[in-house]
Chain A
Amino acid sequence: MQATSHATHHDHAHADPHHEELGFWRKYIFSTDHKIIGFQYLLTALVFLMIGFGLIALMRWQLAYPGRAIPIGGALLERVLGPDMVGKEAVTGKIGVIMPDLYNSFGAMHGTIMVFLAIVPLAFGAFGNFVTPLQIGAPDMTFPRLNMASYWAYYLGGVVMLISFFIPGGAAKSGWTSYSPLATVVDAQYDINGQTLWLVGMVLLITSSLLGAVNFITTIIQLRAKGMTWMRMPFFVWAQFVTAFLLLLAFPPLEAAGIMQLMDNVFDTSFFLPTGLVVSGKPLDISGGGSPLLWQHLFWFLGHPEVYVLILPAMGIVAEVIANNTRRPLWGYKTLVYSVITIGFLSFIVWAHHMYLTGMGTKISTFFQTTTMMISIPSVFILSCLFISLWGGSIRFNTPMLFALAFLPMFGIGGLTGLPLGFNASDIYLHDTYYVIGHFHYVVAPGTIFGLFAGIYYWFPKATGRFMNEFLGKIHFVFSLIFMNAVFMPMFVQGMAGMSRRMYDGGATYSLEKAPEVIGALNETVMRYNISITHAAIGLGLAQIPFIINFFWSMFAGKRVTSDNPWQATTLEWCTPTPPPHGNFLKEPAAYRGPYEYSVPGAATDFTPQFQAEKP
């Protein structure tokens, strides 16, 4: 069944009465087709990934060479952002020094853009949209127009965020966490400031995610094909399902918080502002009576589930790719499913591990560290299952598989370094140091991003009908792996030495050089890592060039696929025509077995797809 040729599919497609020709705008821009929307998400989010990287590249320059002008584009940046943001070098007068306010803006926006505008849209918007309906055998999302609305709300949110760089005062500068009262008092001289736009942008992004989540869950509940029982769903779909629930239920509290902070900023309320605030020697003119901790609770109530939103889809992708390229079933499919559900539940009751040092009481912090330790167990289960799946496989090392394999130890490092943060007693030392930065970048950058790369290489042939180039892919992989580690590994050392995060001068104030008399000042090695990390980060950026070339070149000139199932995979998306037409399936698909029936003893081929009917 899988080997049906291209041409026949084409004929079918035209015979389909619903296949009317849409104009360019309806077809590619205001499309309601989940695959086009997935692609829109993919491209937009990749652009934001690049922007997020651009911001951090500039910040890393400042960290490595505090007070030195950026080597290129300094004058241009000054023209665009103004002299408050981009200054002159003290000695040479060269324009292009990132000023502290700009550093803080970039930091906040790097976090925001990476999390909400790059990774979530990639993991959930792009892959979720493109793959989920195909894998469950659905013709589209249940609410196609809602789906389009989600994308455009996301797009608008992104635009608002970007605009905020150019308004007086610049973009939000209170960290991606936007803690009050800083978020309210900073730039208070401007009626509409970066923080206001940040909040408006967030409300749009939250709306987008909520609509998306409703759509995904309904689709998975209602549109599964015949025979696609819950326990026959690919693990990726399970991951998306749980992710959607996290978004659905964790985002609204942040929306509430966002509205309240907006009220604080615009209508001078005091939701998050306590009585007795004195800023720059002047008592603030507000009623007071609010609580800064309330914001933190509401933020992290989303914040923690959000990190699983970042990781679960990547785990799903990795599971698909590993099953396909080991040519054997995933080990412990049920364990995987139950673990991911458990993570979903637990992720809502661990949030305050970000707040151990906010004066939390002993009982409550005991509660939260216990739940935090509990949540690491299902993560260990998931990783173990994936590891054990490798045993007995016949492993093909193509590019998607390389990224998927690298995901495992990289996520391992990130996850394991979460443990010392998870105990309140050891978090005392590590809180808000570069150790934390190292921890979460290992999970999101070499973790999630690698998972996403694996997905891009893996589903590219289905989406475009062409393979991506393997050689460029491997170059991309090797250099990304090296540089990722060169960027983030030294951060653990810096953090252990006591370097705080969000330091404009990269901790120079605390270095031995500036403060030789101080016991426990940061030594030269630790400080020198600032430079090596920056170089590695630039290397990491350059390592993406083969990817970008590969991506666009392969779209038009890559090697054509010769079958609808080029990877010889088992899940339903591989029985559609390539690329799938509007409506996806030519005839109603059905699932006859579990999702990973590879190398079934006695079968003719080493894969027995879900869509292959039982022999009579």
Chain B
Amino acid sequence: MDIPYTSKPRPDTGLYNAKVGIWLFLASEVMLFGALFSSYILLRIGADKWPSGLLNIPIGTFNTAVLITSSVTVVMAWASLKMNNFPKFKLYMGITILCALAFLGIKSIEYKDKFTHYQVWLKDGTTQTGHIEGNPYFLNHNKLDARKLDHIMFRSDGGHVVAAAEHGGNAKGGHAAAVKIERKDIQRLSAYVPAHSTYFAIYFTLTALHALHVVGGSLVLAFFWGPGSKMWKTDPERFTNRIEVGGLFWHFVDLVWIFLFPVLYLL
């Protein structure tokens, strides 16, 4: 016996197998991100102060638009197959994949930006944010000691700030000249990396996990666009189903981002 309902729906449920499978998988994803969002809420409730405005909102908005675009193109790709228009499918799916790559590219620029953006907590209780001369990666106070550095040259984002930077993100403009900060005055030094604070910890965890989903999704979609599309000739119905299933996953990734964006960038 062969496995039934791989492409034709089962009469009583009206569904083909993969569709049930993907929705179940998405159900588990809902719980995965649900747990992370719950953690976000609790960390935020528990925090003394929750940084805001440290992320670049225009970039985030643009990336949201990119992802939304890819979501509509992937459903158009499926619709094209339904209308028997294979070239159009190729086009729309191609755009989807390009959007995915664009999203990842932009995200990695954002990441890189954060990795070189530092905060120093001085022993007098004030803090400053800015860049260190030479834009080093992953420096912190322990590494200063390990490398026997007795000072850093620090380009502050603008004077002493006790609270977090103002809205509008790390505006490159108002940089002061580099000043010397002695090691002995530094309590703690950290870039905007996960270890910086629970805010960045959850930010990086959520966005990296989301980015992994984007990577996984675009690999699958790329397969359907490239070598996998041969199936259109042999079993068009099943191929269309595959696109639908891939699309469902892709929409879910988009959906997660729809929440991630306001929660991490705006609130």
Contacts and interface: CB of A to CB of B under 8 A. Distances in A.
A associates with B: yes
A223 B12 CA distance: 11
Nearest to B25: A214
B24 A248 contact: yes
Interface stretch (B70-78, B193-201, B213-221): B193-201
A128 to B, nearest CB: 15
Nearest to A288: B198
Given A214-B25, A218-B21, A221-B13, A291 B42 contact: yes
Contact of B24 (A144, A218, A260, A268): A218
Contacts of B4: 139, 222-223
Interface string A145-165: 010000000000000000000
Contacts of A142: 3, 17, 20-21
B27 interface: yes
A543 interface: no
B194 A269 contact: yes
Given A289-B46, A289-B197, A139 B3 contact: yes
Nearest to A295: B39
A18 B202 CA distance: 51
Contact of B195 (A18, A210, A267, A584): A267
A112 B187 CA distance: 40
Contact of B36 (A221, A248, A256, A290): A256
A588 interface: yes
Interface string B1-35: 11111000010010101001100110111011111
Contacts of A255: 32, 35
A219 to B, nearest CB: 9
Contact of B201 (A146, A270, A584): A270
A287 B35 contact: no
Contacts of B5: 222-223
- Residue from A146, A223, A256 with most neighbouring chain B CB atoms (10 Å): A256
B45 to A, nearest CB: 9
A259 interface: yes
B48 interface: yes
Contacts of B149: none
Interface residues of A, number: 48
Contacts of B3: 138-140, 142, 144, 223
A577 to B, nearest CB: 12
Contacts of A248: 24, 27-28
Contacts of A257: 35
Contact of B17 (A222, A249, A286): A222
Given A260-B39, A291-B46, A253 B34 contact: yes
Contact of A269 (B17, B33, B36, B201): B201
Contacts of A356: none
Given A213-B24, A221-B13, A222-B10, A289 B198 contact: yes
B28 A252 contact: yes
A20 interface: no
A285 B142 CA distance: 9
Interface string A232-268: 0000000000000000111111011101100100011
Given A253-B35, A289-B46, A298-B35, A222 B1 contact: no
B205 interface: yes
A425 B205 CA distance: 39
A588 B4 CA distance: 11
B43 interface: yes
Contacts of A585: 1
**Which of B1, B27, B42, B142 has the most C-beta atoms of chain A within 10 angstroms of its own C-beta?**
B1
B21 to A, nearest CB: 5
B190 interface: yes
Given A143-B17, A217-B24, A253-B31, A269 B39 contact: no
A270 B209 contact: no
Given A267-B193, A268-B195, A270-B201, A289 B1 contact: no
A504 B47 CA distance: 37
A268 B34 CA distance: 23
A276 to B, nearest CB: 12
Contacts of B39: 256, 260, 271, 294, 298
A447 B29 CA distance: 32
A287 B32 contact: no
A138 B31 CA distance: 29
Contacts of B198: 269-271, 287, 289-290
Given A218-B20, A268-B195, A583 B32 contact: no
A204 to B, nearest CB: 15
Q: B2, B20, B21, B43 — which one has the most chain A CB atoms within 10 A of its CB?
A: B21
Contact of A287 (B15, B27, B31, B190): B190
A251 B29 CA distance: 10
Contacts, number: 133
Contacts of A213: 24, 28
Nearest to B5: A222
A224 B10 CA distance: 10
Given A248-B27, A255-B32, A287 B17 contact: no
A253 B201 contact: no
Question: Of A213, A222, A270, which is in contact with the most chain B CB atoms at under 10 Å from its CB?
Answer: A222
A252 B24 contact: no
Contacts of B31: 249-250, 252-253
Contacts of B28: 210, 213-214, 248-249, 251-252
B18 to A, nearest CB: 8
A250 B202 CA distance: 21
Nearest to B4: A223
A217 B42 CA distance: 33
Interface in A279-308: 285-287, 289-291, 294, 298, 301
Nearest to A220: B20
B13 A139 contact: no
Contacts of A291: 42-43, 46
A143 B21 contact: yes
A314 B5 CA distance: 31
B145 to A, nearest CB: 11
A290 B43 contact: yes
B24 A214 contact: yes
B197 A287 contact: yes
Contacts of B195: 267-270, 286-287
Contacts of B141: 285
A223 B1 CA distance: 12
Nearest to A290: B198
Given A248-B27, A256-B39, A267-B195, A222 B20 contact: yes
Interface string B139-177: 001100000000000000000000000000000000000
Nearest to A255: B32
A139 B33 CA distance: 35
Interface string A62-77: 0000000000000000
27 contacts: A139-B2, A139-B4, A142-B17, A143-B17, A146-B21, A214-B24, A215-B21, A217-B20, A218-B20, A218-B24, A223-B4, A248-B27, A252-B32, A255-B32, A259-B205, A260-B205, A263-B194, A267-B195, A268-B195, A269-B201, A269-B205, A270-B197, A271-B43, A275-B48, A289-B43, A290-B43, A584-B1
Closest 9 CB pairs of A and B: A253-B35, A139-B1, A252-B32, A269-B201, A256-B35, A252-B31, A268-B195, A289-B198, A583-B1
Given A223-B5, A256-B39, A271-B201, 10 more contacts: A214-B25, A218-B20, A221-B20, A223-B3, A252-B28, A252-B31, A253-B32, A263-B204, A269-B195, A287-B196
Interface of A: 18, 138-140, 142-144, 146, 210, 213-215, 217-218, 221-223, 248-253, 255-257, 259-260, 263, 267-271, 275, 285-287, 289-291, 294, 298, 301, 583-585, 588
Interface of B: 1-5, 10, 13, 15, 17, 20-21, 24-25, 27-29, 31-36, 39, 42-43, 46-48, 141-142, 188, 190, 193-198, 201-202, 204-205, 209
